[in-house]
């Protein structure tokens, strides 16, 4: 895990507009992730584009912003976008960043972000190929918009919409991973006041370490008859299942009990009276497969949580005592708590 | 020119977070520019990535945000990014958008932006392939971050750094195009109070129509021995020349008189006591060529404004009465006026 960002006021503050050349050279153009040979034109002063050489003629593109005063904003922007590319069945390779800083930002704030991008990209074997950095009017907190390009691992494109009736629904890790980290980082004091033990808060704050699904998504792509994959963000596991259903035109039956929730997440969620299944869950891989062979499940640590059904409006979350129908998009629990 | 954006309060306002499915389907997923056959996975509900098929194995990527309460924010985001790709010698093909709206935004605000993106993309033969739309905390005005992927028109990559001593420096159109439009749109009332005629203001407001350099950049790439191209944004023509010099390690001698400034730009600049050569100039193409044949110049309406020289720190702007040395990066006049 990279060093977190604290908005410091000690170092020189930046002026509105493009970041000056010197700062660009020292704090942006040096932090470009893995130096890949297929990058023909890397980020350079005065160049407004990057050029890469693809080994495949099918490329996958994803764009996602990280907003909010998150301490790991640069690091997350690489991982979140890498996830979106990987769940398409593609290996993420080339990242572009757009860093927007608020008026009072310092050079140090910029450096923290670019170093995080650098480290996350290196971990995943990704090169930063171009970008834009500016102190922007109309932003009151840093925003990093990441864009990732990848190349299909096999020839097939895996989509959210590919789920078919009869498929098993798998998930990896535990529900609400990202939300657990956000709540613990942003509302640490409140949790402490509510009597949540320090050890739990500390563990929860580090849940960002589980955020990548690249490895498991690529493994499934290569080794299993996977019909769809999805990275459940806003709305959590249930939101992700809803999107999967709407995109594929199929229904689902999922058993609440079969969805793993970690002890740490359970404690944090109980404190805020939050449903962990409706809590933002980047880091979890949702996938549908024709056959759920035991070796596949164990290889990526996946659990079967339900099945895809034929009726497009049948979206059932089955509990011990009752069955809930998911009839509308799920509003993330996070918005309710943070507002 | 597309319809401009007025932040309306009449239509329903959007909630924080992802835009709801219905609005997404009606106002985002329908406006995807040109329907290109090489888009294998276009923007769809529930899919977080797009997939395209390239005809070349060298692809060019550019990322640029449009910040500020600009009325043509969606339209500009396509053109500005298309320019960055085209000056690399590549044909822009696939666009991704990240639309960040402030808390009070309405569905209508979103629609205006996506329609602008759609129209600009269609004009240039570009498809929108993926994107992200959210009402984001920490933004007080809409921001559109565009990302463009293109394919080299010839095999060669044209960079800002490619300029060589002895090359002629060309520019198209007139200095300060984008800045003229911004000043006239954002400070219309002030201009009127200063006695600038309505006809001039009206003409200046429409200067955005000159913003694209895609045609001329691709024409030069295919037909001339062009050694570098650059799209001068912040800092205007002089800022662009400074960047070209820093990137290439060469100097330049440029004659102020040879740089065309339109009457409209001259009037607007005089009102604010602004140097049109230091005013943001998207829409102008700066290029360096070994030979400046007359047919090349006339074909793209270019003028020779100076020459590339050997000494890396020789950056001279030559006037009738004096010679000015450009020793530091140029701060755009716009920032001074708008602040």
pLDDT tens digits, B96-144: 999 999 988 999 999 999 999 999 999 999 999 999 999 988 888 999 9
Residues carrying CATH 3.30.1330.10, chain A: 36-152
Judged by a CB distance cut-off of 8 A, whether residue A7 touches chain B is no
CA distance B179 to B181: 5
Judged by a CB distance cut-off of 8 A, whether residue A60 touches chain B is yes
Nearest CA in chain B to A235: B18
Q: Determine, for residues B45 and A247 on separate chains, whether the beta-carbon distance falls below 8 Å.
A: yes
Separation in Å, CA of B244 to nearest CA in chain A = 7
Judged by a CB distance cut-off of 8 A, whether residue A275 touches chain B is no
Q: E strands of A57-167, at which residues? A: 58-66, 90-101, 127-135, 143-152
Q: Quick one: pLDDT at residue A93?
A: 97
Pair of tokens at residue A1: 């895990």
Pair of tokens at residue B334: 């716009």
Q: Quick one: pLDDT at residue B12?
A: 76
DSSP 8-state symbol, A12: P
Judged by a CB distance cut-off of 8 A, whether residue A63 touches chain B is yes
How many Å is the Cα radius of gyration of chain B?
21
B243: chain A residues, CB-CB within 8 Å: 45-46
User: What is the count of residue pairs from A and B with beta carbons less than 8 Å apart?
Assistant: 242
Short-list A334, A315, A318, CA closest to A265 = A334
Separation in Å, CA of A321 to nearest CA in chain B = 30
- Across the range B77-87, mean pLDDT stands at 97
Q: What is the mean pLDDT of chain B?
A: 92
Judged by a CB distance cut-off of 8 A, whether residue A47 touches chain B is yes
A178-214 pLDDT, tens digit each: 999 999 998 999 999 999 999 999 999 999 999 999 9
CA distance A85 to B96: 14
Q: Which of B 64-83 lie inside 8 A of A, CB atoms? A: 64-65, 67-69
Q: Determine, for residues B21 and A138 on separate chains, whether the beta-carbon distance falls below 8 Å.
A: no
Beta-carbon neighbour count of residue B158 at 10 Å? 28
Q: Which CATH class is domain B160-338?
A: alpha beta
- Across the range A40-55, mean pLDDT stands at 91
A90: chain B residues, CB-CB within 8 Å: 49, 51
Judged by a CB distance cut-off of 8 A, whether residue B44 touches chain A is yes
- Is B188 a residue whose pLDDT tops 60? yes
pLDDT band at B336, cuts 50/70/90?
confident
A100: chain B residues, CB-CB within 8 Å: 65, 67, 143
Pair of tokens at residue B325: 């040395």
B329: chain A residues, CB-CB within 8 Å: 20-21
Judged by a CB distance cut-off of 8 A, whether residue A87 touches chain B is yes
Q: Which of B47, B68, B140 is facing A159, going by the closest CB pair?
A: B47
Separation in Å, CA of B136 to nearest CA in chain A = 7
- Across the range A308-313, mean pLDDT stands at 95
Q: What is the mean pLDDT of chain A?
A: 92
Separation in Å, CA of A199 to nearest CA in chain B = 30
More reliable by pLDDT, B330 or B269: B269
CA distance B212 to B290: 24
Q: Which of A 292-331 lie inside 8 A of B, CB atoms? A: 329, 331
Judged by a CB distance cut-off of 8 A, whether residue A109 touches chain B is no
CATH topology for B36-152 is: 60s Ribosomal Protein L30; Chain: A; (3.30.1330)
Q: Determine, for residues B67 and A96 on separate chains, whether the beta-carbon distance falls below 8 Å.
A: no
pLDDT band at B292, cuts 50/70/90?
confident
Separation in Å, CA of A51 to nearest CA in chain B = 4
Nearest CA in chain B to A66: B136
Residues carrying CATH 3.90.650.10, chain A: 160-338
- Across the range A223-242, mean pLDDT stands at 94
Separation in Å, CA of B216 to nearest CA in chain A = 17
SS3 of chain B: CCCCCCCCCCCCECCCEECCHHHHHHHCCCCCECCCCCEEECCCCCCCCEEEECCCCEEEEEEEEECCCCCCHHHHHHHHHHHHHHCCCEEEEEEEEEEEECCCCEHHHHHHHHHHHHHHHHHHCCEEEEEEEEECCCECCCEEEEEEEEEECCCCCCCHHHCCCCCEEEEECCCCHHHHHHHHHHCHHHHHHCCCCHHHHHHHHHHHHHCCCHHHHHHHHHHCCEEEEECCCCCHHHHHHHHHHHHHCCEEEEEHHHCCCCHHHHHHHHHHCCCHHHCCCECECEEEECCCCHHHHHHCCEEEEEEEECCCCCEEEECCCCEEECCCCCCCHHHHHHC
| pTM (two decimals) | 0.91
DSSP secondary structure string for all residues of A304-315: EEEEEES-TT-E
- Is B199 a residue whose pLDDT tops 70? yes
Q: Quick one: pLDDT at residue B1?
A: 55
Short-list A220, A314, A11, A339, CA closest to B137 = A339
Q: How far is CA A332 from the centre of its chain?
A: 15
- Across the range B280-295, mean pLDDT stands at 93
The lowest-confidence range among A50-59, A62-71, A132-141 is A62-71
Q: Determine, for residues A138 and B85 on separate chains, whether the beta-carbon distance falls below 8 Å.
A: no
Separation in Å, CA of B199 to nearest CA in chain A = 30
Q: Quick one: pLDDT at residue A209?
A: 94
- Is A13 a residue whose pLDDT tops 90? no
Short-list B99, B82, B97, B130, CA closest to B5 = B99
A112-123 pLDDT, tens digit each: 999 999 999 999
Separation in Å, CA of B174 to nearest CA in chain A = 21
- Across the range A259-285, mean pLDDT stands at 97
Judged by a CB distance cut-off of 8 A, whether residue A137 touches chain B is yes
Q: What angle do CA A94, A211, A308 make, to 5 degrees?
A: 100
Please report the ipTM that was assigned to this predicted complex.
Answer: 0.90
B100: chain A residues, CB-CB within 8 Å: 65, 67, 143
- Is A6 a residue whose pLDDT tops 70? no
- Is A4 a residue whose pLDDT tops 70? no
DSSP 8-state symbol, A38: T
Short-list B249, B75, B254, B26, CA closest to B178 = B75
Q: Determine, for residues A231 and B47 on separate chains, whether the beta-carbon distance falls below 8 Å.
A: no
Judged by a CB distance cut-off of 8 A, whether residue A127 touches chain B is no
Q: Determine, for residues B139 and A67 on separate chains, whether the beta-carbon distance falls below 8 Å.
A: yes
- Is A8 a residue whose pLDDT tops 90? no
Whether the Cβ atoms of residue A103 and residue A135 lie closer than 8 Å to each other: yes
CA distance A42 to B94: 20
């Amino acid at each position: 895990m990279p060093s977190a960002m604290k908005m410091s006021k000690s170092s020189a503050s930046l002026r509105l507009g493009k970041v000056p050349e010197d700062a660009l050279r020292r704090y942006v153009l040096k932090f470009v992730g893995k130096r890949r040979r297929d990058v023909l034109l890397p980020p350079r002063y005065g160049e407004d584009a990057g050029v890469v050489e693809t080994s495949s003629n099918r490329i996958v593109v994803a764009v996602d912003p990280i907003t909010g005063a998150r301490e790991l904003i640069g690091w997350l922007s690489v991982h979140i976008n890498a996830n979106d590319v990987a769940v398409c069945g593609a290996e993420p390779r080339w990242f572009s960043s757009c860093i927007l800083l608020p008026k009072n930002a310092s050079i140090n704030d910029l450096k923290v972000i670019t170093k995080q991008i650098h480290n996350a990209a290196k971990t995943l074997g990704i090169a930063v190929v171009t970008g834009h950095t500016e102190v922007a009017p109309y932003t009151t907190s840093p925003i990093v918009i990441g864009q990732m390009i990848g190349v299909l691992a096999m020839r097939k494109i895996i989509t959210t919409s590919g789920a078919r009736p009869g498929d098993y629904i798998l998930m990896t890790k535990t529900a609400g991973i990202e939300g657990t980290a956000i709540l613990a980082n942003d509302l640490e004091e409140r949790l402490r006041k509510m009597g949540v033990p320090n050890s739990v808060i500390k563990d929860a704050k580090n849940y960002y370490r589980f955020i990548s699904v690249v490895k498991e998504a690529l493994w499934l792509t290569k080794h299993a008859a996977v019909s769809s994959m999805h990275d459940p963000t806003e709305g959590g596991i249930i939101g992700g299942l809803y999107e999967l259903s709407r995109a594929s035109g199929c229904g689902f039956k999922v058993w609440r009990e079969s969805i793993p929730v970690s002890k740490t997440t359970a404690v944090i969620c109980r404190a805020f009276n939050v449903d962990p299944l409706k809590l933002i869950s980047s880091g979890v891989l949702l996938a549908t497969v024709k056959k759920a062979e035991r070796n596949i499940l164990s290889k990526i640590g996946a659990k079967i949580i339900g099945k895809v059904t034929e009726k497009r409006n049948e979206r059932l979350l089955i509990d011990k005592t009752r069955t809930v129908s998911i009839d509308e998009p799920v509003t993330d629990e996070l918005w309710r708590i943070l507002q």
